[in-house]
Amino acid sequence: MTPPGVDHSTDSYLPRHGNGGYRVLHYDLDLDCRVAANRLSGKATITARTVQELTRFSLDLGQLRVEDVRVDGRRATWTHRAGKLRIKPERAIGYGAIFKVEIRYAGKPVPLSGRWGDLGWDELTDGVLVASQPNGSPSWFPCNDRLEKATFLVRLTAPTPYAVIVTGDLVTRRRGAGTTTWVYERNEPTAPYLMSVQIGRYEVIELAAAQKAAIPPRLRTVFRHDFGRHGEIMATFERLFGPYPFREYTVVVADDDLDDPIEAQGMAVFGRNHLDGRRTHERLAAHELAHQWFGNSLTVADWRHIWLNEGFATYAEWLWSAASGGASAGSHATRWHIWLSSQPQDIAVADPGVDRMFDPLVYKRGAVALHALRVRLGDDAFFAMLRSWVGENRHGLVTTGGFRQHASRFAEGPLDALFTDWLDRPALPPLAPAGR
């Protein structure tokens, strides 16, 4: 029998997203998008392995209409309501078995609404933007919407005037009668929320080695200036963190204003308002690039560990500031420590709670905590620790406990009190002086 809990994940913050009983190995998505009408039709073929015998199982899927479901080629019975596609195969699937699910679906994709606003597939003025963190992926494909990783193959057909940018390596592009089919593969293990689709009237240009950009043609000049040092940011981060973890990096500039940039695996998306000809938002470019190491290659095993994404990417902004002739990381840490001292001290960085996952305190205090660790360890040990943390956990799942244990290998004395003060307790500890 299938035990209870198959419709839920083990994530402490988002248990209703994700499902138990199996692990997805690969997603094969064959999609057709009619941009003007915002209509999407698709076939998802999902390859998975059971971790228990299954007489039924579930996937996450938003408001799209399911037309057919097959398990290992046989028709299955299913229900689809409240974001869950519940499937009963013709016969039970044994423990440890690899099986395939084929789902045909169609409709008008809409983002998922929640406490963080609209997430997932969203219409632009003339195109599509997908921003799924943390749980918007079911808005455009059926998935096990948890943090476990899988590989992807995405074929997406759209009207020819539009460029289609998908997180992954472009395999081929085929012109048809008024449409073009773009094929991308994502061979590095990837969490569903980090898969993204961007569709627009973009010009694709080279940005730097192994980096490209998709931009509205009229913004080419200002983009070239504002992102002119992106190759230097990449080189700085590779020196500090280790080799870039993917084959490519794509910057997309949507021809709409966006509140905040968005990162996906091997991609970052900015709004046209993030270009002003003065590099005002260069720190955001550094932040999103840093997420390729901290968040995308190293992905948190549970959302309560989100400071491992956001604190690290924020500290990377400060490291780029120092490397590019701006304020030192120590100066940034001091400034933000003063700001933190003026805020309510009511959050534990290591477990901020689901309502405060994206609170600025998680970002800034997480970064200041890293600087406190750097002061304790010294530069040589701190950066050796960071590089080995990245290398040893490449394309894996990480936790705060794992980071604490890892950092302790590079310290001459115990770090327990430092981590407890900075990560576990809301009260703000003093910051040891350092001019780095």
Cα 63 to Cα 18: distance, rounded to the nearest angstrom: 16
What would the pLDDT profile of 237-270 be if each residue is shown by its tens digit?
Answer: 999 999 999 999 999 999 999 999 999 999 999 9
Q: What is the token pair recorded at 328?
A: 């030192």
Cβ within 8 Å of residue 434, ≥6 positions away: 330, 371, 374, 375
Q: What is the pLDDT of residue 1?
A: 38
Q: Cβ contacts of residue 51 below 8 Å, gap of 6+?
A: 20, 21, 22, 23, 95, 96
- Which DSSP helix (H) or strand (E) runs through 219? none
The SS3 assignment for 340 reads helix
**Per-residue confidence (pLDDT) for residue 434, from 0 to 100:** 59
Residue 361 pairs in a beta bridge with: none
Q: Of 202, 288, 315, 317, which is the active-site residue?
A: 288
For 8, residues 6+ apart whose C-beta sits below 8 A from its C-beta are 15, 16, 18, 19, 20
pLDDT value of position 8 = 83
Quote the tokens at residue 400: 């705060």
Can you give the C-alpha Rg of the chain in angstroms?
Answer: 22
Task: Give domain limits for the chain.
Answer: 299-424
Q: What pLDDT, on a 0 to 100 scale, did the predictor assign at position 319?
A: 98
Of the listed 13, 162, 193, 363, which one is catalytic? 363
Helices (H) and strands (E) in the chain, counts: 9, 23
- pLDDT given at position 5: 56
* Under 8 Å between Cβ of 130 and 198: yes
Q: Please tell me whether 17 is known to bind a ligand.
A: no
Q: What is the pTM of this model?
A: 0.96
CATH pick for 299-424 out of 3.40.50.880, 1.10.390.10, 3.40.50.1370, 3.40.50.150: 1.10.390.10
Decide: 132 and 119 in contact? Cβ < 8 Å: yes
Residues 370-387: tens digit of each pLDDT: 999 999 999 999 999 999
Does the annotation count 288 as an active-site position? Answer: yes
- 363 is a catalytic site residue: yes
Task: Locate the DSSP E strands across 337-390.
Answer: none
**Along the chain (436 residues), what's the average pLDDT of each consecutive run of 10 residues?**
64 92 98 97 98 97 98 98 97 97 98 92 97 97 97 98 96 96 97 98 94 97 98 98 97 97 97 98 98 98 98 98 98 98 96 97 98 98 98 98 98 97 98 68
148 labelled ligand-binding? no
Provide φ and ψ at 401, rounded to 5°. -60, -40
The response to whether 291 counts as a known ligand-binding position is yes
